[in-house]
Structure 1
């Protein structure tokens, strides 16, 4: 038996860090939404009690470092599953890009194995399990648009943002999220207005949304990697309505309303950037069907 599951990327419309917690994590306030750029996860039931990862992407580990592997192992242990699974990962989301590719693969694996292994778990239960794997996995289990708080595992559902194009550009570098957070000075941050961002989504106000994008991790990543700042400048110059780095980077995205301007930005960036995508906001939650 085989099952195909989509694992969409996310972008941060807003990312704020409030303080460092006693457990070593940072208290965050993030507004995230899924976009139409996705990995494809194929799950194949194995009678032998083992987990196998198969991917043609050389940057994707095929052992316990892989978050999809960790997701399968966690379900097996929690629910004493004696069957195995072959997890084939077709990578379309850039690796180490600030787009939650690995977390989304893990979340898709949780949703898919819930069906394949007939576990009967709800999305809420899967999201709680996902929080044990990584901070973004809970959001990726739900998908759609949400306010994430705590260390990112507390999810409050929001409606989909106004429809628009998202042009993404990733330079040929990877960024360590842990390293960026380690270098972040929480004492002197310019905090984005999370409440105004939520209101703009609720009102369907695209212009207001564009005015309220913000990411406190930008200053750290931009200092470490000047090419990220260059991509931001290019996107603004080509006419994106709003430009922001997603997560800890290095991917930069631009929000664009008009098709013609999207094509201009997309074509302009392809001249000097390794990976460029033009996709739509998804913004709607996953279902268990």
Structure 2
């Protein structure tokens, strides 16, 4: 038996960091939404009690470092499963891009294994297990649009944004999330207006969503990686309606309301960056199907 699962990328419409917690994590308040840029997983049951990860992307680990592997391991231990599984991951989401590619793969593995092994776990139960793997996994279990608090594992689903085009560009660098958080000075940051973004989503106001995009980590990454700052400026120059960095970077995304603009921006960015994508907003958790 085999199961197929889609693992969509996420972008941050709003990312605020409130303070550092006693456990070493940061308390965050984020609004995340899914986009139609996705990895695809194929899960096949094995008689032999082992977990196999297969991917043609050389940057994707095939052992315990892989978050999909960790998802399978936790479910096997939690539910007493003695069979194995082969997980083939077809990567489309860039690696280490601030788009939760690894977390979404883990979430897709949880959903897929729940079906493959007939475990009968609810989405809430899968999200709780996902929180043990990584901060973004809980959100990725649900997909859609949500406010994430705590260290990112507390999820409240909210209204999705109106459909529009999303153009993404990732420079050929990696950014360490831990490094960006280390250099974040919470005494000297401009906090995004998360409440205003929630209201903009409720009102389905494209203009207000564009006006209230914000990421408290962006200035840290831009100051340390000029390639990211350059991409953001180029995307604005080519005519994107609003531009922001996702997560800790280095991917920059821009919103475009009208399809007539998409090709010009996409082709312009391809002159500066190899990894450029033009996709639609998903935003609604039902789109995972």
Task: Give the structure-1-normalised TM-score.
Answer: 0.98
Aligned to 2:41: 41
Distance change in 2, residues 1:81/1:246 (3 Å): same
Where do 1:250-265 residues align within 5 Å? 250-265=250-265
What's the Cα RMSD here?
1.1
Offset of residue 226 of structure 1: 0.2
Where do 1:1-289 residues align within 5 Å? 1-286=1-286
What is the alpha-carbon distance in structure 2 between the residues aligned to residue 286 and residue 24 of structure 1?
A: 34
SS at match of 1:148: strand
What is the alpha-carbon distance in structure 2 between the residues aligned to residue 44 and residue 263 of structure 1?
A: 39
Instruction: Judge which range, 217-226 or 199-208, deviates more.
Output: 217-226
SS at match of 1:196: helix
Alignment size in residue pairs? 289
Alignment check: 8 A CA contact 2:149 2:155 kept = yes
Instruction: Output one character per residue of 1:72-112: Cα deviation in whole Å (capped at 9) or x when no partner.
Output: 00001111110100000000000000000000000000000
Task: Give the structure-2-normalised TM-score.
Answer: 0.98
Alignment check: 8 A CA contact 1:16 1:215 kept = yes
SS at match of 1:169: strand
Alignment check: 8 A CA contact 1:111 1:288 kept = no
Offset of residue 266 of structure 1: 0.5
What is the alpha-carbon distance in structure 2 between the residues aligned to residue 231 and residue 51 of structure 1?
A: 39
Alignment check: 8 A CA contact 1:9 1:36 kept = yes
Offset of residue 223 of structure 1: 1.3
Alignment check: 8 A CA contact 1:141 1:286 kept = no
Unpaired stretches in structure 2, ≥5 consecutive residues: none
Offset of residue 248 of structure 1: 0.4
Alignment check: 8 A CA contact 2:6 2:288 kept = no
Offset of residue 286 of structure 1: 4.5
What is the alpha-carbon distance in structure 1 between the residues aligned to residue 17 and residue 250 of structure 2?
A: 18
Unpaired stretches in structure 1, ≥5 consecutive residues: none
What is the alpha-carbon distance in structure 1 between the residues aligned to residue 71 and residue 13 of structure 2?
A: 27
**Segments of 4+ moved more than 4 angstroms:** 286-289
What is the alpha-carbon distance in structure 2 between the residues aligned to residue 186 and residue 118 of structure 1?
A: 46
Alignment check: 8 A CA contact 1:13 1:31 kept = yes
What is the alpha-carbon distance in structure 2 between the residues aligned to residue 31 and residue 120 of structure 1?
A: 29
SS at match of 1:187: helix
Offset of residue 225 of structure 1: 0.7
Instruction: Judge which range, 68-77 or 172-181, deviates more.
Output: 172-181
